[in-house]
Amino acid sequence: MTPNRTPRWFGSPANFDAATARSNEIDEQLKKERVTIRGTRFIALFGAPGAGRSTFLRQAKLHGSGYNTQEREELGISIQTTVISAIRLILEGASIPDDPTVQLALSSFLEATEPGSDTTNSSVQDQSLLAYRIQELLAVRLIKEVIEASPQYQADSSLQYTMGPIPRIMTSRYTPTDIDILRGKFPPAPPIVEIPFKPPGAWNESPLQTTLVSVRRDNGLQRKWLTLVGEVEAIIFLVDLSRYDQTEYLSETEEELNCIRAAMREFESICNVPLMRFASAIVVFNKFDLFTEQLTRVPFTECFPEYTGPNEPAAAVEYCTDRFQALYCVFGVRQRNIRTWCTNCLDVDQTGVTLQEIMRSIVRLRLHVVWEV
C-alpha cells in the first residue's frame, strides 16, 4: 500500500505566488498578442514608379494618426536641406553671368551653405542668417532665371513648389503644413512602410487593426513580404492617369510600353499571385486633374486606337475601368468586381474623402464575408 504523500513545494509560498502570477501574466500577454496578430488585416499598396504611392501613404497618415510635433519638425528640416542641396547643385553646374552683384550674391550663398560652415548650425541666429542669404540670392533676377531654366528644376515639381514659399520655409521656426508634407521631397523611404489605416466614423473603434503596407519593387521584396503575412485582405493599385500619352522601359522584357498598358500588365501579374486569391481589388486613378487637362491637348484615341468613346475624362476612365476589370482574375477564375476611384493625391480634402470611401467598402466587404461564414 502506497502511503499518502503530501506534495512538496520548492521555495517559499511567497516566491511561488509571485512566479504563478508572472506566469499567468505572460500567458495573458501571449493570448492578447495572438488575438492582435489574428485581428490584424493587411492592405497592400501597389503602383508603378511615379504613380504617387509615397504621397498616398502620407495622406493615409495625415487622415489617420497624423504627424506629431516632432515628426513635423524633422520633416521641416528635411525640406529645408533638400531645397538648399538642389539650389547648390543647380548653381554649381550652371553658367552664371559675370556680373559683380550676381557673383557676390552667389558667393555669399555658397559660403553660407557650405557643409560644416557656421551658418549650418542649429542656432536660431545662424538659421536666420542662412534664410536671409537664400532670400537675397533668389532676389537676383538672373540667378532666379538660371535656376528656373535648369532641367532639374523643370523636372522636379516639389522643387517648383518649395521655391515659391521660400521666405516661409527658410526660417528657423519653420513647421511644415499638410500641403508642404505632401509636396515636399524627402529621402527614399524604407523598403517596407506600414501605416495604420483607420475605419471612418462609427467603425473607428473596431478591434480589428488594419495596416496599409507599401513594399518597394526591387529584388522580389514584394513577394517575400507576401509570404510572411499570408493572405492580404485587399490591394490598392495606383495608376497615374496623366501618363496615358507616355511610355516606359520595361527591363524584364526590354521593351517600351505605354504607361497605362504597363500598369495593366503589372496589375494582372499581382492578381495572379496565389496569396491574392481572396483579396478585394481597389484601383485608384491618380492625377485626375492633370489627366483632364491633358486630354484637351492629346486625344485619348492617339494612345488607345481601339477606344471608340468620346474624348472626355469620364468616358476614358470608364474604358480603363473595364480593361482593369477584365484583368482581375486569378488563374482564369473571375473574381468580384473591382472598385475604382478618381482622385488627386495632392488634394487633402479630396483624398480624405477617397480614403474614407475605400475604408467603408473594405469594412462592408469584411462584414459580408463574416456573415457568409
Task: Name the percent of the chain in helix, strand, coil, to the closest 5.
Answer: 55, 15, 30
Number of H helices, E strands in the chain: 15, 10
Q: Does residue 288 have a known ligand-binding role?
A: yes
Residue with cell 503589372: 266
Q: Does residue 32 have a known ligand-binding role?
A: no
Spatial contact of 119 and 126, defined as CB atoms under 8 Å apart? yes
| Residue 96: count of CB within 10 angstroms of its CB | 15
Q: What is the Cα 239 distance to its own chain's centre?
A: 13
Q: What is the Cα 13 distance to its own chain's centre?
A: 56
At residue 335, the 3 state secondary structure works out as coil
Q: Does residue 344 have a known ligand-binding role?
A: no
Spatial contact of 308 and 327, defined as CB atoms under 8 Å apart? no
Cell numbers representing residue 181 in the block? 508634407
Q: Does residue 214 have a known ligand-binding role?
A: no
Spatial contact of 91 and 138, defined as CB atoms under 8 Å apart? no
Please report the DSSP string for 252-304 in residue order: TTTEEEEHHHHHHHHHHHHHTSGGGTTPEEEEEEE-HHHHHHHHTTS-GGGT-
In 3D space, the residue among 140, 56, 85 whose CA is nearest the CA of residue 341 turns out to be 56
Q: Does residue 311 have a known ligand-binding role?
A: no
Spatial contact of 110 and 88, defined as CB atoms under 8 Å apart? yes
The CA distance from 59 to 57, in Å, is 5
Residue list, annotated binding site: 54, 286-289
Residue list, annotated binding site for GTP: 286-289
Residue list, annotated binding site for Mg(2+): 54
